[in-house]
Each structure stands twice: as structure tokens, then as C-alpha cells.
Amino acid sequence: MNNVKIAPSILAADFSKLGADIRKAEESGADLIHFDIMDGHFVPNLTMGVDLVKAVRRYTDLPFDVHLMVTHPQDYIEPFANAGANLITIHAELATAPIDAVLWKIKSFNILAGLATCPQTPISAIDPYLPDLDLVLPMSVEPGFGGQKFILNTLEKISYLNQKIKELGKAIDIEVDGGINEDTAPLVIERGATILVAGTAIFKQSNYTSAISRLRQQG
Ligand code: DX5
Ligand code: ZN
């Protein structure tokens, strides 16, 4: 048994009854709720925003894990903080503001700060920021859509991050997002992943409890 955390991505949930689906995910053993926020500019998809996070905040006390796949994340830190986010992750590919300034802004709201990389970005892009992070998120699919296939070279990125974090001696979560299922879960857990984001592998299953425990018991 491992103590990996499971973060269902509501991108795969039933948008017509998100509150109920989130509550069901909590009752089924979820540890956090993952929100894939996309602006149709940083990535081709347009998914959900601040008002949706605010609307579902009252359905659970689980931490809200907000993944900003947007071009100007610096403009949305305060609105998502006020909507109830507990953790906000921005992307290392950010080109519209200094990354360390945005990370500082997240932390100024007493919220955990994460930094994500797209699959084609060298994982060393995280290095300068690692000491200031609470979480790193090496994406294992192209950002934009759920239901994609896990990109295998993510595994060496997880191992790299695990080693760097051990050397640093700071508790920093490694969250893997995209194509996580009962086959890929053990591969990422054994390399040091501590949080698994899963949309399809949970919300597209009939029984969320068994889906979550299958992911958690791997590795
Ligand atoms: C991609 C999204 C997906 C989603 C999880 O931008 O971030 O990774 O959260 O999708 P599944 O679990 O369906 O692969
Ligand atoms: Zn995500």
C-alpha cells in the first residue's frame, strides 16, 4: 500500500451535475479535486473558469487543485484564491510575466504553488524555481484534452524530479496529469509521483470507489 493521493480531474465529470459528481468523488476516496482551467489560447480548449470553482466550493471540503493552462495566469490568481482554490499551478512556458513573481503572488494568498511543464519542455526548466515550489507537475499528455494516451518519456522526468527533490531535502509533491490509469499508475508511483490526476479513469467508470482504489493500490 502506498500513500499516493488521487486528484480526480472534473474535466471528465458530468458538467450538468458537477456538485454531485464532486461529492461522489469525495465519498469514493478522492484526496483533492483537480480543475483543468483552459483559456482556448494557451491550449486549444476552453473549459471552465472562476465562477465554476466558486459554485462547487460548497460541495466538499477537499482541497481544490487549480491547474491554470492560460496565457495570463497572473490575472487569475486572486479570483481563484477568492473562489476557494487551495493550490494553484502555473506553467513554466509562461511568457507574459516572470514565473517567480507569479509564484510569489500565489503564495501571498496563503495558497500552495505549483509549476507544470508541457511534454515537449525540458524538465530542467523547473530547476531554478524548485526551492520555492510546493508541487511540480510534469504533464504526461499534451495539455488541452482529457482521454489522451500517457506519454512514456514522462517517466524519466518523474525520476529526475524525485532525485532533485531528495537532494533539496524539501517536501515537494510530484503530480502527474494525463493518461493515468491502472496500467500507468504503478509506473509513475514507483518513480516518485505523489499525486495522480485522473479524469477518464475515474469519472468515465461506473464505480468511482473501485476506480480510485485501483489507482491508489498500484505500485
Ligand atoms: C490535459 C488535462 C488532462 C486531464 C486528465 O490538459 O489536464 O490531463 O486532466 O485527463 P485524463 O485522466 O482523462 O487523461
Ligand atoms: Zn491538469
Separation of CA 142 from chain center: 14
Separation CA 52–CA 69 (nearest Å):
16
pLDDT of residue 218: 59
What is the 8-class DSSP label of residue 149? P
| 130: three-class secondary structure by DSSP | helix
State pTM to two decimals. 0.97
Which residues are the active-site residues?
Answer: 36, 177
In short, whether 90's Cβ falls inside 6 Å of ligand 1 is no
pLDDT of residue 145: 95
pLDDT of residue 2: 76
In short, whether 146's Cβ falls inside 6 Å of ligand 1 is yes
- Mean per-residue pLDDT pooled into runs of 10, the chain (219 residues): 91 98 98 98 97 98 98 98 98 97 98 98 98 98 97 98 98 98 97 98 97 84
Q: Which three cell numbers stand for residue 119?
A: 511534454
Compute the distance from residue 165 Cα to the ligand 1 centre, in Å.
24
In short, whether 8's Cβ falls inside 6 Å of ligand 1 is no
The total number of structural domains in the chain stands at 1
Q: Which three cell numbers stand for residue 114?
A: 505549483
Sign for the CA dihedral angle at 92, 95, 100, 101 comes to negative
In sequence order, what are the residues at sequence separation of 6 or more whose Cβ sits closer than 8 angstroms to the Cβ of residue 150? 140, 141, 178, 179, 180, 181, 184
- Alpha-helix residue ranges (DSSP H) falling in the chain: 18-27, 50-56, 77-83, 99-108, 154-168, 185-189, 200-203, 208-217
pLDDT of residue 217: 79
Main-chain dihedrals φ then ψ at residue 201, nearest 5 degrees: -70, -10
Q: Which residues make beta-bridge pairs with 143?
A: none
Domain that holds residue 17: 5-216
Q: What is the CATH number of the domain that holds 120?
A: 3.20.20.70
| Single-letter residue type at 128 | P
Tell me the CA distances in angstroms from 131 to 98, 121, 158, one per residue in order. Answer: 16, 19, 17
Compute the distance from residue 178 Cα to the ligand 1 centre, in Å.
4
